[in-house]
Amino acid sequence: PDGRPLAGRTAVVTAGPTFEPIDPVRGLTNRSSGKQGYAIAEALAALGAKVTLVSGPVALSAPVGVERVWVETARDMQAAVKAAFPADIAVMSAAVADWRVDGVASGKIKKAPGGPPSLSLIENPDILAGVSKPGKDRPTLVVGFAAETTDLEANALAKLSRKGCDWIVGNDVSDDVFGADGNAVTLFTRDGADSWPRQSKTEVARKLAARIADHFKA
């Protein structure tokens, strides 16, 4: 192909929040902006990879040359990731809702004199853990994220082994990360940790993509 380091490689990136419906007009979601994941998709594409970006609802335009697949729920996201396989690289940066509503109402829930309704929640599938399982479709390199407010290293390393991924990007979210342009991260691999000072999400993405390219060169 061309001379770029990830030419001929395929990547799947998840980004943004998920949206879990309560009824046709309401839902559960979170404050993920999708900025970090979109920047990673863009940086991998710039190095020549063919990128599928599986995105929850965000207000961002798709990076040039990246194929975006819109999803709402965690289960939609999981199906879209599977549909995009096989892939050499998976980067799961989405903030997937841990729970969804059990028994989504088919009509708008009415305010009733008896008081507010109660929501019953059930656990969503862990997309990253599923993708990391050994099998013929497992990407060569699976990268997860760990957003932590305390004990970044211990929590990130525990997540690395619990989920079975290859690398974890540990994200210190104790100050201003959600929706912000900057991010302070530590990359944990089986060979050690690499801390990057707070910098733009674009810069974090470029560094991560460069590390991924090095990995495939080696």
Rounded distance between C-alpha atoms, residue 216 and residue 212, angstroms? 6
Contact set for ligand C5P, span 70-129 (CB under 6 A): 74, 92-94, 96, 124, 126-128
46 in contact with ligand C5P (CB under 6 A) = no
Instruction: Return the number of the residue (48 or 89) whose C-beta is nearest ligand C5P.
Output: 89
Instruction: Return the number of the residue (93 or 183) whose C-beta is nearest ligand C5P.
Output: 93
* Minimum separation from the CB atom of position 123 to ligand C5P (A): 8
Contact pick of 145, 167, 202, 204 for ligand C5P (by CB under 6 A) = 145
93 phi and psi angles, rounded to 5 deg: -105, 0
Catalytic residue among 30, 155, 171, 183: 30
Q: Is 1 exposed, middle or buried (0-12, 13-18, 19+ CB in 10 A)?
A: exposed
In the annotation, is 124 catalytic? no
88 phi and psi angles, rounded to 5 deg: -80, -35
Instruction: Dig out the tokens for 88 from the structure.
Output: 């050499």
Question: Nearest Cα to 18, choosing from 109, 107, 127, 106?
Answer: 127
User: What end-to-end distance do the CA atoms of the chain give, in Å?
Assistant: 19
Sign of CA dihedral 84, 77, 148, 202: positive
Contact pick of 144, 152, 201, 212 for ligand C5P (by CB under 6 A) = 144
Instruction: Return the number of the residue (146 or 213) whose C-beta is nearest ligand C5P.
Output: 146
# residues near ligand C5P by CB under 6 A:
14
**For residue 120, what are the CA distances in angstroms to 30, 104, 107?**
18, 10, 17
128 annotated binding-site participant: yes
Instruction: Return the number of the residue (47 or 96) whose C-beta is nearest ligand C5P.
Output: 96
* Minimum separation from the CB atom of position 113 to ligand C5P (A): 37
Rounded distance between C-alpha atoms, residue 71 and residue 167, angstroms? 25
Q: Which residues bind ligand C5P (CB under 6 A)?
A: 14, 74, 92-94, 96, 124, 126-128, 144-146, 159
Residues annotated within a binding site for CTP = 98, 108, 125-128, 145, 159, 163
Which residues are annotated as catalytic? 30
